[in-house]
């Protein structure tokens, strides 16, 4: 075969199998896989033109209406990813993947009895990486052995095949125990949804990080230092000793009590630079006062060298008094490997100068290691808080969840 003929053959194969923008042909989208475990039906009945917003067939049926929305980012957790295809499917209110021939998206059962039902669809992120899915709350399986959930998979150019992400699951679900949360894979980040309420709609935000915790992903995080869980993952609850602040004398969990709006965890371990610590605390206390209940900042000291509980308590109490701090909590743990407080689950490196974990609704939205107290870095923190305060930020939990 001549070089020209080979090129023509390859072009023809491309047109027959998949178009240049990644969309499959009509023939492929109508082919139902015989075994979903070997070949998931990501493309089955997928339309050629996809939007960044979609309404599932369940949205206009009975049941609690919900909006699942957020931004898809590249692996750095900061660069929006446009043109990414998300595929979802879920049960009906009875917890069944029901089929319904009258529905355009209906998937009949294959030879093995497998189906995604008819409550399914696709979304393609916009130029800012944003997506929105309007649907209804899925029901828990009749067996009650799994929390209610919405399945989600993603197709991006970097990966030959689609891959699954952690399901959307719901923070108020009694089946979603602490044990289950700690076993999550966090593929693409945490899938735990914390709803707010606007009229009759429950709104849950989730930012998706492409490649995060995905085996054999072709891009690696090249950061030389690693401390703290990743952007997109949830902060894990822990109970430090409180030496200064409103919870002084207790072992209150920062996330459990103050995790609803913005929060900053400022960790310092075995290499404290007290002059810089003081600069950070004064700045963060000022920002906390300005933002009132919408921001809570914790200083968490985890120096395990010559640790003494009473001495550490007195040391931080004197620091807070010296700086006349009004809103920041000064706390400590015996070490960042301490299992009694469970701070070890947040994977903080005690040998870096500091670790900042900035979160919203208990989910990490930014992370910094070895951050110096400069005007530029102060601006970096305040700008992030401003950017992530959207139209849903100050809304309350649904009444049923209070």
Give residue-wise pLDDT tens across range 263-301. 999 999 999 999 999 999 999 999 999 999 999 999 999
Asked whether the predicted pLDDT for residue 151 surpasses 70, the reply is: yes
Between 234 and 62, residue with greater pLDDT: 234
The dihedral over CA atoms of 142, 145, 147, 153, expressed in degrees to the nearest 10, equals -90
CA separation, residue 114 to residues 33, 42, 141, 238, 257 (Å) = 9, 13, 15, 41, 43
Distance CA 204, CA 398 (A): 11
CA angle (255 as vertex; 72, 182 as ends), nearest 5: 70
Mean pLDDT of the chain: 92
Give residue-wise pLDDT tens across range 206-231. 999 999 999 999 988 665 568 999 99
Phi, psi (deg, nearest 5) at residue 22: 90, 0
- Torsion over CA: 27, 29, 33, 38 (sign): positive
Looking up tokens 């009004």, which residue turns up? 326
Over residues 83-112, the mean pLDDT reads 97
Any residues with CB less than 8 A from the CB of 267 and at least 6 apart, and which? 227, 228, 300, 302, 336, 348, 354, 355, 356, 357
Closest of 48, 1, 2 to residue 24, by C-alpha: 48
Q: What proportion of the chain, given as a percentage, has pLDDT over 90?
A: 87
> According to the model, what pLDDT value does residue 61 have?
87
Distance CA 113, CA 97 (A): 11
Query: Which residues are paired to 367 by β-bridges?
Result: 357
Asked whether the predicted pLDDT for residue 352 surpasses 70, the reply is: yes
Question: What would the DSSP string read from start to end of 75-119?
Answer: TTSSSB--S-EEEEEE--TTS-----TTSTT-B---TTS---BSS
> According to the model, what pLDDT value does residue 220 have?
80
Over residues 347-364, the mean pLDDT reads 97
Asked whether the predicted pLDDT for residue 79 surpasses 80, the reply is: yes
Give residue-wise pLDDT tens across range 10-49. 333 333 334 334 444 455 678 899 999 999 999 999 999 9
Query: Burial code of 351-388, b = ≥16 C-beta within 10 A, e = fewer?
Result: ebbbbbbbbbbbbbbbbbbebebeeeebeebeebbeeb
In this predicted structure, which of 24-28, 73-77, 106-110, 232-236 has the lowest mean pLDDT? 24-28
> According to the model, what pLDDT value does residue 5 have?
40
Distance CA 212, CA 348 (A): 18
Give the helix ranges, DSSP H, for 324-374.
none
β-pair type (329-332, 241-244): antiparallel
Q: Kindly indicate the confidence band of residue 402, based on its pLDDT and cuts at 50, 70 and 90.
A: low
Give residue-wise pLDDT tens across range 44-73. 999 999 999 999 999 988 899 999 999 999
Helix, strand, coil abundance in the chain, percent, nearest 5: 20, 25, 55
Give residue-wise pLDDT tens across range 310-320. 999 999 999 99
Q: Kindly indicate the confidence band of residue 399, based on its pLDDT and cuts at 50, 70 and 90.
A: confident
């Amino acid at each position: 075969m001549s070089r020209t003929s080979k090129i023509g053959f390859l072009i023809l194969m491309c047109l027959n199998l998949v178009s240049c923008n990644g969309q499959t042909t009509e023939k492929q989208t109508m082919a139902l896989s015989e075994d979903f475990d070997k070949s998931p039906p990501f493309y089955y009945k997928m339309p050629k033109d996809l939007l960044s917003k979609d309404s599932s067939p369940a949205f206009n049926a009975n049941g609690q209406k919900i909006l699942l929305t957020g931004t898809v980012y590249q692996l750095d957790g900061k660069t929006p990813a446009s043109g990414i295809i998300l595929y979802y499917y879920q049960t009906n209110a009875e917890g069944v993947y029901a089929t319904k021939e009258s529905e355009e998206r209906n998937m009949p059962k294959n030879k093995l009895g497998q189906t995604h039902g008819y409550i399914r669809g696709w979304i393609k992120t916009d130029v800012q990486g944003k997506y929105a899915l309007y649907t209804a709350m899925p029901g828990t399986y009749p067996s009650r052995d799994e929390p209610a959930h919405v399945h989600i998979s993603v197709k991006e150019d970097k990966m030959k095949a689609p891959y699954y992400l952690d399901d959307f699951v719901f923070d108020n679900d009694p089946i979603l125990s602490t044990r289950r949360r700690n076993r999550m894979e966090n593929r693409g980040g945490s899938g735990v949804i914390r709803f707010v309420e606007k009229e009759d709609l429950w709104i849950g935000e989730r930012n998706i990080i492409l490649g995060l915790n995905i085996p054999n992903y072709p891009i690696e995080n090249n950061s030389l230092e690693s401390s703290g869980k990743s952007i997109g993952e949830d902060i894990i609850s822990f109970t430090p000793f409180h030496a200064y602040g409103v919870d002084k004398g207790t072992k209150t969990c920062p996330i459990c009590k103050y995790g609803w709006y913005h929060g900053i965890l400022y960790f310092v371990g075995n290499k404290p630079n007290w002059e810089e610590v003081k600069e950070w605390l004064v700045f963060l206390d000022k920002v906390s006062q300005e933002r009132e209940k919408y921001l809570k900042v914790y200083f968490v000291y985890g120096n395990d060298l010559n640790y003494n509980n009473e001495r550490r308590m007195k040391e931080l109490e004197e620091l807070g008094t010296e700086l006349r701090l009004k809103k920041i909590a000064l706390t400590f743990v015996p070490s960042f490997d301490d299992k009694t407080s469970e701070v070890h689950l947040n994977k903080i490196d005690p040998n870096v100068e500091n670790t900042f974990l900035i979160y919203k609704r208990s989910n990490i939205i930014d992370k910094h290691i070895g951050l110096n107290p400069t005007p530029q870095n102060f601006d970096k923190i305040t700008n992030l808080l401003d950017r992530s305060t959207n139209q849903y930020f100050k809304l309350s939990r649904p009444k049923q969840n209070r």
